[in-house]
Structure 1
Amino acid sequence: MLRSVRYIFVPLLLAGASVTALAQSTAPRVFFVAPADGATVSNPVVVKFGVEGMAIKPAGDMTSNTGHHHLIIDGDPVPAGQVVPTDDTHLHFGKGQTETSVNLTPGDHTLTLQFANGAHQSYGPAMSQTIKVHVKGR
């Protein structure tokens, strides 16, 4: 009888542990460590980036499930597979940086954090986050 219980209990215990592990795993995401959404800030604006579920690698490294950050000022997330443009409103952090300082004109702005692979191809809106900030005038 004890042997029968063991044959039933152990597989059930392992199955329960597997389901729990799956339930606790989260989808990859990027997020702003700072500033907070809706914050009132002063220049220079310190922006800190975070990522979970993927590793940060420099531009050119095409290892699966890796990439680097891009900061989009007053723009939308880049669709999946498209290359993040290089211009004054799309800032690239291809060395794997997780922090920067930017000077913005006084007023309201949106900041979008976009994660992309080693070829700067966007992972799309699922790997982006947009916040609003208000930059104080002098």
Structure 2
Amino acid sequence: MKRFSIGAATALLLAGPSFADGHRSPAPENARAYIVSPADGATVSNPVTIVFGLDGMGIAPANVEMDNTGHHHLLINTDPNELDLDTSLPATEQIVHFGGGQTQVTKDLPPGTHSLQLLLGDWSHVPHDPPVLSEAITITVN
């Protein structure tokens, strides 16, 4: 009969991955995020519906730790090279979290030109290694 030790289980949980220790979940080599619509270069009106795509991985809500899954983060006018990819992504007006596993959003954007890009985050909002990052698209809101 196997014994289960509460102390050992607690130690495993405490030693497990955490966004605080810089742990990044691995991403499969073929994983790819992309924006289905609007098309790059499109001129759109408010509200703007942005549809997310993902190949090679699955969608899981935040706080659900499963291999080869994550949830989308929409980067609006944000350069991903300026983000710390070893920590949990902040939730801002420019880094919009979809921790419920959403695959699209309808959002008002200010008139003008905007850069949109998707970045997949793991269960704790930390980007995968390597990052699953879409190509940036540019849209104009009239």
Q: What TM-score results when the alignment is normalised by the length of structure 1?
A: 0.75
Q: Contact 1:29 / 1:126 at 8 angstroms: preserved in 2?
A: no
Number of corresponding residues: 112
Q: Contact 2:76 / 2:95 at 8 angstroms: preserved in 1?
A: yes
Select the structure of larger CA radius of gyration: 1
Given residue 89 of structure 1, which amino acid in structure 2 is its aligned partner?
A: Q
Structure 1: give runs of 5+ residues left out of the alignment.
1-25
Pick from 59, 81, 86 the counterpart of residue 91 of structure 2. Answer: 86
Pick from 41, 49, 61 the counterpart of residue 52 of structure 2. Answer: 49
Asked whether 1:67 is paired with 2:73, we answer: no
Structure 1 49/32 Cα, relative in aligned 2: closer, same or farther at 3 Å?
same
Query: 1:1-138 to 2 correspondence within 5 Å?
Result: 27-77=30-80, 78-123=83-128, 126-129=131-134, 130-136=136-142
Measured against aligned partners, the alpha-carbon deviations of 1:32-89 in whole angstroms (never above 9, x if no partner) come to 0111111111100100001001110000011111100011111022453331111111
User: Kindly, what percent of the aligned residue pairs are identical?
Assistant: 42
Q: Counting helix residues as a fraction of each chain, which structure ranks higher? A: 1
RMSD: 1.8
C-alpha distance in 2 between matches for 1:62 and 1:50: 20
Structure 2: give runs of 5+ residues left out of the alignment.
1-28
- Which protein has greater RCO, CA pairs closer than 8 Å, 6+ apart? 2
1:124 to partner: Cα distance: 6.3
What secondary structure is seen at the aligned counterpart in 2 of 1:128?
coil
Q: Contact 1:79 / 1:125 at 8 angstroms: preserved in 2?
A: no
Q: Contact 2:119 / 2:131 at 8 angstroms: preserved in 1?
A: no
What secondary structure is seen at the aligned counterpart in 2 of 1:127?
coil
